[in-house]
Structure 1
Amino acid sequence: MRHLLRLSLALLALGACRSPTDNDQGGVPPLLTELPRTLSSAELRIVEGANLFAFDLMREATRALPSDSNAFLSPLSASLALGMTLNGANGETFEQMRTALRLDGMTESEINEGYRDLIALLGGLDSRTETRIANSMWGHEGLSLEPSFAEAGRSFFDAEIRTLNFGDPAAVETINDWVSGKTNGRIPQLLEQIAEGEILFLINAIYFKGKWRVAFDSRDTGDGPFHGADGRDRTAPLMRQEETLHYDETPEYQAVDLLYGNGAFAMTVLLPAPGRTPAEVLAGLDPAAWSALTARFHEAEVHLTLPRFRLEYARSLGQDLSALGMAIAFDEGRADFYRIADVRPDRLYITRVDQKTFVEVNEEGTEAAAATAVGIGVTSAPEVVEMKVDRPFLFAIRERLSGTLMFLGVMNAVGT
Structure 2
Amino acid sequence: MKTIILLLLAFMLTSISSCQKNDVQPPENNIIDLDEKSAKLIEADNEFGLEMFQKVREDNDDENIMISPLSISVALAMAYKGADGDTKTEMEKAMKLNGLTTDEINTSYKMLISALQSLDEDVFFEIANAIFYADIMEVKPGFLDVNKTVYEAEIERLDFSSPGAVNTINDWVTEKTNDKITKIIELLDPLDRMVLLNAIYFNGIWTNEFDEEGTHELDFNKPDGTTIKVPMMNKLENLDYTANSLFKAIKMPYGNGQYNMVIFLPETGKNSQNVIDELSAASWKKWMDEFEKTDRVDITMPRFKFEFEAGLNDLLKKMGMQKAFIPEVADFSKISDVELYISAVKHKSFIDVNETGTEAAAVTSITFTTTSIGNEPQKVPFFVNKPFVFAITENNTDAILFIGEVQNPEYDE
Q: TM-score range by the shorter chain?
A: 0.7 to 0.9
- Per the normalisation by structure 2, the TM-score is 0.81
Instruction: Return the alpha-carbon distance in structure 1 between the equivalents of residues 25 and 211 of structure 2.
Output: 19
Q: Shift in Å at residue 361 of structure 1?
A: 0.7
Instruction: Return the alpha-carbon distance in structure 1 between the equivalents of residues 28 and 204 of structure 2.
Output: 15
Residue 358 in 1 paired to residue 353 in 2? no
Contact map agreement 2:191 2:371 (CA 8 A) in 1 = no
Amino acid at match of 2:248: Q
Q: Give per-residue Cα distances to partners, 1:89-143, cap 9 Å, x unaligned.
A: 0011001101111111111111111111110110111122122222221111122
Residue matched to 2:195: 201
Which of 64, 73, 78 is matched with 1:79 structurally?
Answer: 73
Which of 355, 359, 363 is matched with 1:367 structurally?
Answer: 359
Task: Check 1:349–1:110 CA distance in 2 against 1; reply closer, same or farther (3 A cut).
Answer: same
Q: Shift in Å at residue 29 of structure 1?
A: 6.7
Q: CA RMSD in A?
A: 1.8
Instruction: Return the alpha-carbon distance in structure 2 between the equivalents of residues 318 and 234 of structure 1.
Output: 35
Residue matched to 1:413: none
Residue matched to 1:100: 94
1:257-406 paired onto structure 2 within 5 Å:
257-300=251-294, 301-343=296-338, 347-379=339-371
Indicate the SS of the match to 2:66.
strand
Residue matched to 2:393: none
Which of 233, 236, 244 is matched with 2:230 structurally?
Answer: 236
Instruction: Return the alpha-carbon distance in structure 2 between the equivalents of residues 29 and 207 of structure 1.
Output: 25
- Per the normalisation by structure 1, the TM-score is 0.81
Residue matched to 1:128: 122
Instruction: Return the alpha-carbon distance in structure 2 between the equivalents of residues 141 and 266 of structure 1.
Output: 43
Residue 225 in 1 paired to residue 219 in 2? yes
Amino acid at match of 2:57: T
Q: Shift in Å at residue 77 of structure 1?
A: 0.8
Instruction: Return the alpha-carbon distance in structure 2 between the equivalents of residues 191 and 319 of structure 1.
Output: 18
Which of 64, 82, 90 is matched with 2:84 structurally?
Answer: 90
Indicate the SS of the match to 1:267.
strand
Q: Give per-residue Cα distances to partners, 1:189-212, cap 9 Å, x unaligned.
A: 222222222121122222222200
Indicate the SS of the match to 1:110.
helix
Contact map agreement 2:83 2:335 (CA 8 A) in 1 = yes
Instruction: Return the alpha-carbon distance in structure 1 between the equivalents of residues 279 and 191 of structure 2.
Output: 41
Deviates more, 1:311-320 or 1:160-169: 160-169
In terms of fraction of residues, the more strand-rich structure is 1
Q: Shift in Å at residue 28 of structure 1?
A: 5.1
Instruction: Return the alpha-carbon distance in structure 1 between the equivalents of residues 307 and 33 of structure 2.
Output: 36
Instruction: Return the alpha-carbon distance in structure 2 between the equivalents of residues 223 and 322 of structure 1.
Output: 43
Q: Shift in Å at residue 33 of structure 1?
A: 4.8
Amino acid at match of 1:122: L
Instruction: Return the alpha-carbon distance in structure 2 between the equivalents of residues 362 and 325 of structure 1.
Output: 38
Contact map agreement 1:32 1:264 (CA 8 A) in 2 = no
Instruction: Return the alpha-carbon distance in structure 1 between the equivalents of residues 270 and 26 of structure 2.
Output: 37
Which of 51, 60, 63 is matched with 2:58 structurally?
Answer: 63
Q: Shift in Å at residue 30 of structure 1?
A: 3.7
Indicate the SS of the match to 1:326.
coil
Instruction: Return the alpha-carbon distance in structure 1 between the equivalents of residues 153 and 264 of structure 2.
Output: 36
The runs of 5 or more residues in structure 2 that have no matched partner are: 1-20, 373-413
Deviates more, 1:50-59 or 1:281-290: 281-290
Amino acid at match of 1:216: F
1:19-34 paired onto structure 2 within 5 Å:
30-33=26-29
State the structure with more CA Rg.
2
Instruction: Return the alpha-carbon distance in structure 1 between the equivalents of residues 191 and 28 of structure 2.
Output: 49
Moved over 3 A (4+): 27-34
Amino acid at match of 1:364: T
Instruction: Return the alpha-carbon distance in structure 2 between the equivalents of residues 371 and 34 of structure 1.
Output: 27
Indicate the SS of the match to 1:106.
coil
Q: Shift in Å at residue 239 of structure 1?
A: 0.7
Aligned length: 350
Instruction: Return the alpha-carbon distance in structure 1 between the equivalents of residues 297 and 229 of structure 2.
Output: 23
Q: Shift in Å at residue 325 of structure 1?
A: 0.9
Residue matched to 2:113: 119
